[in-house]
Structure 1
Amino acid sequence: MTYEQLQQSADRIAANLLRLGIKPGEVVSLQLPNWWQFVVLHIALLRIGAVTNPVMPIFRDREMEFMLSLAETRVLIVPRSFRDFDHAAMADRLKTKVPSLEHIVVIGSGDSRDFEAVLNVPSRLTDSIVPCSADTVVQLLYTSGTTGEPKGVTHTGNTLLNSVRYFEERVRLTAKDVVLMASPMAHQTGFLVGLVLPLYLGGRVVLQDIWNPTKAADIVEAEQVTMTMASTPFLADLTAEAERRPAALRSLRTFVSAGAPIPRILVRRATETLCAHVISGWGMTENGLVTTTKLDDPPEKVFETDGCPSQGMEVRIVDHKGKPAPDDEEGRLQARGPGTFVGYLKRPHLYAVDEDGWFETGDLARKDKDGYIRITGRSEDIIIRGGENVPVIEIEQLMYHHPAIQEVAIVGLPDERLGERACACVVLREGTSLTLVDLSRFMAENAVAKNYWPERLEVLDSLPKTPSGKVQKFKLREIVGAGT
């Protein structure tokens, strides 16, 4: 699709949304995969000052009812089916439960509510439309839900644009670059890099709706993709694919990996195998991509940190009293800058930004003398054993070096005597085995303080994750707690 076709389609759909009665500030929810309609719909909603609410395709009735009701969604746009699930039928059920929901539009239904029949029919956008301000809320995106009830994060045009401006300067992208986006655009990574960034650069993007590393390599080779961004599992998969067929991925120059702490060993292996720049980063739905490493950073920064602040953003580490912590001391991570969201929908009391604009991220981190941070955990994921904090992220990083371990996450379990004990939940590599005795021996061989050793081991087929690849530790605690 050319930019001219994109504009024509967006104007046509905007006119039809007006015909449905959508007004500025009202929410339209899109439960769509990475399809062209997603991109056009967002631009159309910008045209009329309405709010785009992307919703992950994996969500079902319970989550959808909560999200649509909180947003007071007037229009819901879904595929007829995706990955063997009947989204159209679920939308019908939701219409009986969500009072505000007036219109269901279905891509591929072939009936009167089909996308082509409702929104893509010829219609002229009136010249009287008043463009929305750059400080008007244009996006409502729910948090991934790693800790419970999702919160509705609101962003403006200005806050979203700030999160992609740095790609020009730090990642050195131009309109000549080709972006592959396989991370869902209903997640902030996919939305910013798969939708906003190409428009900002005037460049080309190739969308992949179902992740498959072999198909991704085919796309990179055929389209000469130069850059992509996704979370750790995508990087691991593409690295494994590059080991099998390196020529297919030769054009890939940059892989930005963020969303979850990246195992150091994976960054090293990916850098060597992909022959591309692996840029580590940290960010949130609330503030986009806040820190990244740089293309010319020395290996120790790329492999051992989550980067330094991107354009316009600031970070600091504070102690339990809220005072700035010394270099290399763990504390609460705060961030501020023009990429910071403007509030949680209908939950103003959760908007943890102080009078100086510092946002309480909920992450724990250290910052070195050069201003580079390293995420060490989540504040709610701290394990305090006998009054001493267990460095969860560091132990997880070490365990990735064990030849039997493919994935690992450590959670705390209540203990009557010590308060908490650490439980290691692992997914093993094919054809391997692991016992707690084996793991304890590994800890001893690596000179880990015994207080930090996991005292329980759970071998699982997979770890529960959000669509963006973050491990849902609250679900892990439920799983291992049920087996206590």
Structure 2
Amino acid sequence: MNQHIAGTIDTAGKTLWQLISERALMTPDKRMALDGHGRTLTYGEYKNWCERVAAGLSQRGIGKNTNVSWVLPSRFESLVLTGALSRLGAIQNPILPIYRNREVSFIVSQSNCKVLIVPRMFRGFDYEPMAREVVASLGRNVEIIVADPDMPEADPAGLATYQAELDDVRWLFYSSGTTADPKGAKHSDNSLSAANDGMQWSMQVTPEDKAAVVFPITHVGGLVWLFNAMQTGVELLMVETFDPANTPKWLGENGVTCAGAGTVFWLTYLNAQNQLP
């Protein structure tokens, strides 16, 4: 959908990787993301990093239609992993970091993933032992990759030619299954792009905007924002752990213009504003 906003890309008929490539050509030096550690990432740097990681993962046997489950916080490396798997044509299953043995075990089993990528420590929890326990209990041949936070990289010159498949299943998103087993939804790049089209129609995001990514990037909404970034050139303000006392201040200091994400966040922002003289 073309929103007729200067600097945006027509997303019709394009996969995520095609959008990543087009955005990198259009605005390679524009800042794509900023995190709480002061790191910055441009759109050109992002594409190049994705390709290096794609090459590294390819050397580990990941390729077209490989089913990859991954659990990572909202950090640059998560965005890069998403792009790398898209470049390879893998089927990726982002898992929320709050999920533990019960949910992850069910998801790994039902999705029949071949690779499970986890962080080491995040918010006081060590994910590697959980991953190994899950895989051992299922008796599956699942490779575990620990991104701490670096991921495998290699020379992208050896990558196979990219093949765009807009309507093939490329994503699995699971609910927590609070009262039953987790439920998985299948998505293509086309369906996620359509979700972004609806958001963009409503919000009219521009390249000058700065969007707060304060929720897990592995939530479907996080990946919709990645599609939107490629479409609009918006800057993403990446928040690994939301802190009601400090995150609103950090977002304000960095010029946030799109601070959505849900009622609990809006109430936190209003409370922070009310504390100001």
What secondary structure is seen at the aligned counterpart in 2 of 1:166? helix
- For 2:191, the aligned partner's letter is T
1:107 corresponds in structure 2 to 147
1:149 corresponds in structure 2 to 181
2:152 corresponds in structure 1 to 119
Relative contact order (C-alpha < 8 Å, sep 6+): which is higher? 2
1:210 corresponds in structure 2 to 241
Counterpart Cα distance in 2 of 1:51 and 1:165: 22
Residue 164 in 1 paired to residue 196 in 2? yes
- How much does 1:165 deviate? 1.6
What secondary structure is seen at the aligned counterpart in 2 of 1:33? coil
Deviation digits for residues 349-402 of structure 1 (CA, Å, limit 9, x no counterpart): xxxxxxxxxxxxxxxxxxxxxxxxxxxxxxxxxxxxxxxxxxxxxxxxxxxxxx
Deviation digits for residues 214-272 of structure 1 (CA, Å, limit 9, x no counterpart): 322122222100002212222222211111127xxxxxxxxxxxxxxxxxxxxxxxxxx
- Segments of 5+ residues of structure 1 without an aligned counterpart are 109-114, 247-484
1:200 corresponds in structure 2 to 231
- How much does 1:181 deviate? 0.8
Would the aligned equivalents of 2:115 and 2:144 in 1 still touch at CA under 8 Å?
A: yes
Cα gap change, 1:32/1:128 in structure 2, threshold over 3 Å: closer, same or farther? closer
Counterpart Cα distance in 2 of 1:147 and 1:90: 22
1:18 corresponds in structure 2 to 58
1:228 corresponds in structure 2 to 259
Cα gap change, 1:144/1:188 in structure 2, threshold over 3 Å: closer, same or farther? farther
Moved more, 56-65 or 128-137: 128-137
Percent identity of paired positions between Structure 1 and Structure 2:
30
1:244 corresponds in structure 2 to 275
Say which one has the larger Rg: 1
Cα gap change, 1:191/1:124 in structure 2, threshold over 3 Å: closer, same or farther? closer
- How much does 1:156 deviate? 0.6
- How much does 1:100 deviate? 4.1
Counterpart Cα distance in 2 of 1:133 and 1:94: 32
TM-score (norm 2): 0.80
- For 1:130, the aligned partner's letter is Y
Counterpart Cα distance in 2 of 1:42 and 1:125: 19
Would the aligned equivalents of 1:11 and 1:125 in 2 still touch at CA under 8 Å?
A: no
- How much does 1:101 deviate? 4.3
Would the aligned equivalents of 1:10 and 1:43 in 2 still touch at CA under 8 Å?
A: yes
- How much does 1:123 deviate? 2.0
TM-score (norm 1): 0.47
Counterpart Cα distance in 1 of 2:141 and 2:80: 21
- How much does 1:129 deviate? 2.5
Cα gap change, 1:101/1:57 in structure 2, threshold over 3 Å: closer, same or farther? farther
- Segments of 5+ residues of structure 2 without an aligned counterpart are 1-40
What secondary structure is seen at the aligned counterpart in 1 of 2:241? coil
Counterpart Cα distance in 1 of 2:140 and 2:155: 25
- How much does 1:3 deviate? 0.9
Q: Tell me the number of residue pairs that the alignment of Structure 1 and Structure 2 aligns.
A: 237
> Which protein has the bigger helix share?
2
Q: What are the residue-to-residue correspondences of 1:25-36 with 2, within 5 Å? A: 25-36=65-76
Would the aligned equivalents of 1:14 and 1:125 in 2 still touch at CA under 8 Å?
A: no
1:86 corresponds in structure 2 to 126
> Which protein has the bigger strand share?
1
